[in-house]
Structure 1
Amino acid sequence: MPLYREEGVVLRTHKLGEADRIVTMLTQGRGLLRAVAKGVRRTSSKFGARLEPFMVADIQCYEGRTLDSITQAETLGAYGPRISADYDRYRAGSVMVETAERLSEGGPTPHQYHLLVGALRTLAAAQIPAGLVRDGYLLRAMGLAGWTPGFEECVRCGAPGPHTLVVVQLGGVVCETCRVPGAPRLDTGAVALLSALLAGDWDAALGAGAREQGQAAGIVSAYTQWHLERGLRSLGPSRR
């Protein structure tokens, strides 16, 4: 059976039989990959820990009739332990990998892969609050998928900002003339935070207060789930 190598991020795993595990990965060259890692749940396994969620690994597989099998795994990014050790980082990472899986269902997406790896690296470093890392990743991932939000000019008529009314369905901020009934009005700092997150400007993002972060997080959550057309399980009802 043909052997091949790939580089990938472990998105999730589930048990198979008594000792095996099915590993779902986002790979750089093949997109989503589901493969069996045999014997990794035994204490004697040499590479079970390398195939846990949030880990980045270089893997060797051989092709099977239904599922491929992972025969080797070398760690490229050991982000799993640091992310899983903290509740906020774990929740943020779970949202990120679930989103990456949903956005990659159509085939290989190298840009999404590299964005996810970078975001997990930042999350594991714990220098930036987990919520900001999550929201910055979500906005940029949606942009790569073709749904870049607008937080500067009115997304309906193009009137220059700043604007503080946000209409998720229209893709960003709107002016007073284009306002839609029920559209939330954010603090100016929250809109500035959304722009900073989209641009990856962490210096600006770190200056935002708790209220601004909360408002921005609500918009990012709604925007992401609107375009994915169904909810993200990992966001849950008690999002921080």
Structure 2
Amino acid sequence: MPLIRDSAVVVRTHKLGEADRIIVLLTEGRGRIRAVAKGVRRTGSKFGSRLDPGSHVAVQLHEGRSELLIVTQAERIDTFSATRSDLDRLAAVAATLEVAEQLATDGGRDQPLYRKTVGVLRTIEQRPGPLVVPAFFLRLLQADGVGFELTRCVSCGEAAELVAIDPSVGGAQCRSCATGMALSADALAVLRAVSEGRVNDVLAAAPVAVGEVGRVAQVAMETHLERRLRVPGATGW
């Protein structure tokens, strides 16, 4: 049987039988795939913790008798040692993985999603902060064509003072049209910076309007996915 080699992020796992696990992978070359890691739950498994959620690995797989692939080898690309011992980082990783899995497609190559996911995992490891995951959500939404109107009122089109934001209508609103969440000037500035691609500037600066930006990012992502996230509140610690 032909071997498949790819780079992947483990986005979710669940038990199979007494000793195996089904591993859901976001791969660089094949999108979202599911594979069985045989014996991974046994003490002394050759895989160790390399196939835990949040791992970034080089994997080797082959086709089994079912539609599931079989993991035959997994080697770490990133260790993420600081993340594995920090609850705040782990919560941010959980939120990241949930959204990445939901946006991925089975067997559909999506290198931008894979690379953005790897990038945010590395950022959580190296320079964690409360705006890392909200910025990730907002950039993913923008890549999916769900960016916000942030320069004028999305409802009336006037370039008036913007005091609210409603993800369901696509952007910020003036006082007369406000139907969404209240929006401070600081939060609006952060949202504009992220939408313009200045994420590094946002992460390097002292965090402001963390709660507001986190709520906007979470509500916007839930609106886009049409489901509640399992890790609410992890978008801003």
TM-score if structure 2 supplies the norm length?
0.89
Task: Find out whether 1:214 has 2:211 as its counterpart.
Answer: yes
Partner of 1:163: 162
- Give the deviation of 1:188 after TM superposition: 0.2
Residue 22 of structure 1 aligns with an amino acid whose one-letter code is I
8 Å CA contact retained: 2:20, 2:38:
yes
RMSD of equivalent CA atoms: 2.2
Distance in 1 (CA, whole Å) between partners of 2:181 and 2:60 is 49
Higher helix content, 1 or 2 = 1
User: Sequence identity of aligned pairs in percent?
Assistant: 38
Structure 1 residues 92-150: Cα deviation after superposition (integer angstroms, max 9, x where no partner): 1111111011111363321111000000000011x231x31110111011112221223
Distance in 2 (CA, whole Å) between partners of 1:30 and 1:63 is 14
1:1-240 map, 5 Å: 1-64=1-64, 65-79=66-80, 81-105=81-105, 107-125=108-126, 127-129=127-129, 131-160=130-159, 163-176=162-175, 179-180=177-178, 182-198=179-195, 199-205=197-203, 206-209=205-208, 212-235=209-232, 240=237
Structure 1 residues 18-51: Cα deviation after superposition (integer angstroms, max 9, x where no partner): 2211111101111111101112222322223211
Residue 191 of structure 1 aligns with an amino acid whose one-letter code is L
Distance in 1 (CA, whole Å) between partners of 2:137 and 2:88 is 16
Higher relative contact order (CA 8 A, sep 6+): 2
Residue 72 of structure 1 aligns with an amino acid whose one-letter code is Q
8 Å CA contact retained: 2:222, 2:228:
yes
- Structure 1 residues 68 and 89: CA distance shift in structure 2, 3 A: same
Structure 1 residues 215-235: Cα deviation after superposition (integer angstroms, max 9, x where no partner): 111111111101111111122
**What is the aligned residue count?**
233
- Structure 1 residues 25 and 237: CA distance shift in structure 2, 3 A: closer
8 Å CA contact retained: 1:112, 1:144:
no
8 Å CA contact retained: 1:193, 1:208:
no
Distance in 2 (CA, whole Å) between partners of 1:236 and 1:176 is 27
Structure 2: stretches of 5+ with no match in the other structure: none
- Structure 1 residues 191 and 9: CA distance shift in structure 2, 3 A: same
8 Å CA contact retained: 1:190, 1:208:
no
- Give the deviation of 1:153 after TM superposition: 3.1
Residue 138 of structure 1 aligns with an amino acid whose one-letter code is F
- Structure 1 residues 78 and 175: CA distance shift in structure 2, 3 A: same
